[in-house]
Amino acid sequence: MIYASQSLGDLWNWLLQQFAELCGSLGIPEVIRYMVEKGAYAVGLLVFISLTALVMIYMERKVSAHMQLRYGPMWTGGWHGWSQTIADMIKLLLKEDIIPDKADRWVHRIAPIVIFVPSLIGFLVIPFDKYLIGADLNVGILLVFGFSSIAVLSIFMGGWASNNKYTLLGGLRSAAQMISYELPLVLSVLGVIMTVGSLKMSDIVMAQKDVWFLFTPNLLGFIIYIIAGTAEVNRTPFDLPEAESELVSGYNTEYSGLKYGFFMLSEFTNTFIISAIAATFFMGGWNGPSWLPGIVSFLAKTYLIVFLLMWFRWTFPRLRVDRLMDFGWKFLLPLSFFNILMIAVWVLVKK
Amino acid sequence: MIEQLKNSGFEEMTLNMGPQHPSTHGVLHLLLKMDGEVITEARPDIGYLHRGMEKIAEKRTWGANIALSDRWDYIASMSNNFAAVLGPEKLMSITVPKRAEYIRVIMAELNRIASHLIFFGTYGIDIGAFTPFFYAFREREKILDLYESVCGARLTYNYFRIGGVSADLPEEFIPGVKAFINYFRPKLKEYDTLLSTNPIFMDRTVGVGAITKEEAIDWALSGPNIRASGVNFDLRKDDPYSVYSEFDFNIPTGKNGDCWDRYMVRMNEMKESARIVEQALEKLEPGDIMAKVAKVIRPPAGEIYTHVEAPKGELGVYCISDGSTMPYRYKVRGPSFVNLAILQKMLKGLRIADVVAVLGSIDIVLGEVDR
């Protein structure tokens, strides 16, 4: 039976069991049962992603507004302009889709898809709660980083295909930046993986049942992860690919309508993924007080990191491109190597 | 290096920055030749906001030209008014009443604060920090409210008159200014924590676009730009006009002449301006605000050059009078225009991100560049 105190993950697990029993009694093949299960999860995930994007865009506007002595949206929909994002989305849908005359049409068209799909796939392996994970792969974290590194390709495609000098510069910048910061990003997570001894997301969460990795020597890894993660999703102080005051809008200058919307959406979904992984790897994932459903404590941690990234964005100036490279290669990368060394010693001593 | 690349089929990229660009502060057009992100040649192309002000001035009366002067550097109109009235006053040997002089100084210095606040806000945006802009505008708004209470306008004041000022201060003005000064001082510290000493901000500005002392003098820079290079040149001290010789204030100077020095000079100037305003408020006594001036202004034939220390630098007006109601020639030396010239020298070898940092630190207003 289901009780109110139990979390969404338990509910999902219970539903799956009921469904399996039903299928067993009706004699439905295993393959079809599996597909229906995963399909249902995928649909739920899509709904969740859309809602997340809406919430995050609204949150960004409100957070930035209150940091800047403004109110942000206040009218649309009544209560504190809650439906402003929905209205914006509708506006984007209705906008004319402009492709520059001399653009590489095909590449220009698929670039927003290439950035959006990988960021969706990343959601599959994020453990929202016990049992509530799309695919608990034994290479979970590798999948996320593997797919998120495709984003650079899309930004480069968009920048190149638009046939505009500003977008080209933005695309080139992002190629250099994202590849450089991928290394410290992955290496910073390596410390946690060494501590746990598994790449599997659920194992990593379970290992933090007693103490979050944030409060162990992995703290350094967390700091490196946040810095590199900010650079990975192109947010200030690392928003050079779209540096407004220099490159107008960077790689997405020539995009309009829904295609621009995809770029914008993927910026927020990527931010969410980066934050969710930070919550999973360093802040105990869905572990939390027993009276709190797992998904609530997971989302609370994730949105804490999201807020942190927004805080960065609205207080820091932007780095210059060569200093960014210096910082990544000459400081962050050695530091993450040192972090690995430190964690290795720590793991040995603990044994 | 570039030669080799050219031979192997690579070419320089020409980037048109502006006239529609978020951070060229108006309609400045920069022609940049670039090798990747590094600039090999930069050429500012001006004139998109040219309104023929100097020619218009020849067909308008001396008094009407004050209204025209509002439109030169439209974020520091009080200083422009100041420059516009000094010439005819000297030609006609008018003695401006003391009260009017102090009011003029208060207005000009408040305007300096307002202008530097805009610099602070927009420079933050140039560097990539959006939030300081709103903080700067919060304070500027209070100055504009004060101006509105005096002359009814918030941007183009047209407040100075030949021989005085157009209206006396309303009752609430003096307590308002005092309250503003008290409110403003702590805010400057807030700016320092928010932007001035931010490591990323310093990384972007320290050592970028440095101008040496000699270069600054050679290129005839003025205002905060030359002071940042270590030249102690300020018309309020060096050629005191109005009643500036009565006040006790310092001239902040920089050492290296880089973007950060230019920024810090302006931040410190705001403190000094606040001091001047305070002193002027103390000296303010009841009295006339207008000298006895004929209704129709006909300065005697002759020529004169008068200059004031505007927020952007030396704002000079050279006017020739033929004894009629309209000037024969009305030449304006806009500090933004002169300061802009050094840009092509500074930009060479810098990166595209530095273009906005350098351009922002020179603090130009296109209305004054083109006129």
Residue B241: phi, psi to the nearest 5?
-105, 170
Residue A341 lies in a domain: yes
The answer, for B23 touching chain A at a CB cutoff of 8 Å, is yes
Of B23, B200, B351, the CB nearest to A317: B200
- Tens-place pLDDT, residues A16-30: 888 878 877 887 777
Residues of chain B positioned with their CB less than 8 A from the CB of A239: 128
Three-class SS state of A282: helix
Of B129, B203, B353, the CB nearest to A246: B353
- Tens-place pLDDT, residues B275-332: 899 898 888 888 888 888 888 888 888 899 998 988 888 888 998 988 888 889 889 8
pLDDT of the residue at A2: 47
Do B352 and A244 lie within an 8 Å CB cutoff?
Answer: no
The residue among A164, A166, A245 with the most chain B CBs within 10 A of its CB, best to mutate, is A245
> CA-to-CA distance for A335 and A72, rounded, in angstroms?
39
Find all residues with CB under 8 Å of A95, minimum gap 6, and list them. A256, A257, A258
pLDDT of the residue at A146: 85
**Which tokens hold the place of B152?**
């009814």
The answer, for A105 touching chain B at a CB cutoff of 8 Å, is no
How far apart are the CA of A108 and the nearest CA of chain B, in angstroms?
Answer: 22
Arithmetic mean of pLDDT, A118-133: 82
Of A165, A314, A323, the CB nearest to B130: A314
Of A165, A166, A319, the CB nearest to B200: A319
pTM of the predicted model, to two decimals?
A: 0.84
The CATH number covering residue B281 comes to 1.10.645.10
Arithmetic mean of pLDDT, A178-205: 85
**Which DSSP string do the residues of B9-39 spell out, in sequence order?**
T---EEEEE-SS-TTSTTT-EEEEEEETTEE
**Which tokens hold the place of B228?**
């940042």
Residue A242: phi, psi to the nearest 5?
-120, 20
- Tens-place pLDDT, residues B318-369: 989 888 888 898 898 888 888 888 888 888 888 888 888 888 888 888 888 8
On the 0-12 / 13-18 / 19+ scale of CB atoms within 10 A, B296 is exposed
> CA-to-CA distance for B39 and B33, rounded, in angstroms?
6
Residue A8 lies in a domain: no
Arithmetic mean of pLDDT, B109-118: 91
pLDDT of the residue at A347: 85
Residue A339 confidence (pLDDT) above 80:
yes
When pLDDT is cut at 50, 70 and 90, the band that residue B1 belongs to is low
**Residue B259 exposure: Cα atoms within 13 Å on the Cβ side:** 30
Residue B318: phi, psi to the nearest 5?
-110, 115
**Which chain B residue is nearest to residue A246, measuring alpha carbons?**
B353
Q: What angle do CA A114, A117, A120 make, to 5 degrees?
A: 150
How far apart are the CA of B296 and the nearest CA of chain A, in angstroms?
Answer: 49
The answer, for B199 touching chain A at a CB cutoff of 8 Å, is no
**Which chain B residue is nearest to residue A236, measuring alpha carbons?**
B128
- Decide which of A249 and A72 is more confident: A72
Radius of gyration of chain B (CA): 21
The residue among B131, B139, B202 with the most chain A CBs within 10 A of its CB, best to mutate, is B131
The answer, for A315 touching chain B at a CB cutoff of 8 Å, is yes
> CA-to-CA distance for A64 and B105, rounded, in angstroms?
38
How far apart are the CA of A100 and the nearest CA of chain B, in angstroms?
Answer: 18
> CA-to-CA distance for B159 and B149, rounded, in angstroms?
12
Arithmetic mean of pLDDT, B148-162: 88
Q: What is the dihedral of CA B197, B202, B205, B207, to 10 degrees?
A: 120
Do B307 and B326 meet the contact criterion of CB atoms below 8 Å apart? Answer: no
pLDDT of the residue at A1: 43
Q: What domain range includes position B132?
A: 2-370
The answer, for A138 touching chain B at a CB cutoff of 8 Å, is no
The answer, for B351 touching chain A at a CB cutoff of 8 Å, is yes
Do A68 and B130 lie within an 8 Å CB cutoff?
Answer: yes
Number of folded domains that form chain A: 1
Residues of chain B positioned with their CB less than 8 A from the CB of A237: 128, 200
**Which tokens hold the place of B48?**
């998109």
Lowest mean pLDDT among A243-247, A263-267, B10-14, B177-181: A243-247
DSSP B299: P
Query: Which string of b and e fits A222-250 if b means at least 16 CB within 10 Å?
Result: bbbbbbbbbbbbbbbbbbbbbbbbbbbbb
pLDDT of the residue at A6: 59
**Which tokens hold the place of B327?**
């000037």
> CA-to-CA distance for B350 and A320, rounded, in angstroms?
11
> CA-to-CA distance for A141 and A122, rounded, in angstroms?
9
DSSP A234: T
Residue A74 confidence (pLDDT) above 80:
yes
Do B130 and A70 lie within an 8 Å CB cutoff?
Answer: no
Residues of chain B positioned with their CB less than 8 A from the CB of A169: 37, 352
Q: What domain range includes position A340?
A: 98-350
**Which chain B residue is nearest to residue A66, measuring alpha carbons?**
B131
Do A171 and A240 meet the contact criterion of CB atoms below 8 Å apart? Answer: no
Residue A4 confidence (pLDDT) above 50:
no
Please, which residues 157-196 of chain A have a Cβ atom closer than 8 Å to chain B? Answer: 165-166, 169, 173
The answer, for A91 touching chain B at a CB cutoff of 8 Å, is no
- Decide which of B153 and B24 is more confident: B153
Please, which residues 284-313 of chain A have a Cβ atom closer than 8 Å to chain B? Answer: none
Residue A218 confidence (pLDDT) above 60:
yes
DSSP B192: I
Residue A5 confidence (pLDDT) above 60:
no
Of B22, B37, B195, the CB nearest to A245: B22
Do B349 and B360 meet the contact criterion of CB atoms below 8 Å apart? Answer: no
Do B155 and B74 meet the contact criterion of CB atoms below 8 Å apart? Answer: yes
> CA-to-CA distance for A196 and A191, rounded, in angstroms?
9
Arithmetic mean of pLDDT, A123-142: 80
When pLDDT is cut at 50, 70 and 90, the band that residue B4 belongs to is low
The answer, for B22 touching chain A at a CB cutoff of 8 Å, is yes
Do A314 and B131 lie within an 8 Å CB cutoff?
Answer: yes
How far apart are the CA of A236 and the nearest CA of chain B, in angstroms?
Answer: 8
pLDDT of the residue at B48: 86
- Tens-place pLDDT, residues A263-316: 888 888 888 988 988 888 888 878 777 777 778 888 888 999 999 988 888 888
Do B28 and B369 meet the contact criterion of CB atoms below 8 Å apart? Answer: yes
Alpha helix (H) residue ranges in chain B: 2-7, 53-58, 64-69, 77-91, 98-127, 131-151, 173-191, 199-205, 213-218, 224-228, 235-238, 259-283, 335-340, 343-347, 352-362, 366-370
Do B88 and B319 meet the contact criterion of CB atoms below 8 Å apart? Answer: yes
Arithmetic mean of pLDDT, B208-221: 87
Three-class SS state of A166: helix
Do B129 and A319 lie within an 8 Å CB cutoff?
Answer: no
Cα B76 to its chain centre, rounded Å, is: 6
* Sole residue written with tokens 């530095």: B354
The answer, for B125 touching chain A at a CB cutoff of 8 Å, is yes
How far apart are the CA of B260 and the nearest CA of chain A, in angstroms?
Answer: 14
- Give the residue among B26, B39, B47, B34 at the shortest CA–CA distance from B346: B39
Lowest mean pLDDT among A108-117, A291-300, B47-56: A291-300
The answer, for B123 touching chain A at a CB cutoff of 8 Å, is no
pLDDT of the residue at B10: 65
Do B128 and A317 lie within an 8 Å CB cutoff?
Answer: yes
> CA-to-CA distance for A206 and B34, rounded, in angstroms?
53
Alpha helix (H) residue ranges in A150-286: 151-161, 165-196, 201-206, 219-232, 244-247, 257-282
Residues of chain B positioned with their CB less than 8 A from the CB of A331: none
Residues of chain A positioned with their CB less than 8 A from the CB of B122: none
Give the H/E segment covering residue A307: helix A294-315
> CA-to-CA distance for B116 and B112, rounded, in angstroms?
6
Residue A86 lies in a domain: no
The residue among B122, B203, B206, B258 with the most chain A CBs within 10 A of its CB, best to mutate, is B203
Percentage of chain A surpassing pLDDT 90? 1
Do A248 and B22 lie within an 8 Å CB cutoff?
Answer: yes
The answer, for A319 touching chain B at a CB cutoff of 8 Å, is yes
Number of folded domains that form chain B: 1
Do B341 and B18 meet the contact criterion of CB atoms below 8 Å apart? Answer: no
* Sole residue written with tokens 């952007």: B312
Do A239 and B128 lie within an 8 Å CB cutoff?
Answer: yes
Do A318 and B127 lie within an 8 Å CB cutoff?
Answer: yes
Do B204 and A69 lie within an 8 Å CB cutoff?
Answer: no
> CA-to-CA distance for A84 and B93, rounded, in angstroms?
62
The answer, for A248 touching chain B at a CB cutoff of 8 Å, is yes
The answer, for A320 touching chain B at a CB cutoff of 8 Å, is yes
> CA-to-CA distance for A109 and A120, rounded, in angstroms?
18
> CA-to-CA distance for A329 and A340, rounded, in angstroms?
16
How far apart are the CA of A341 and the nearest CA of chain B, in angstroms?
Answer: 28
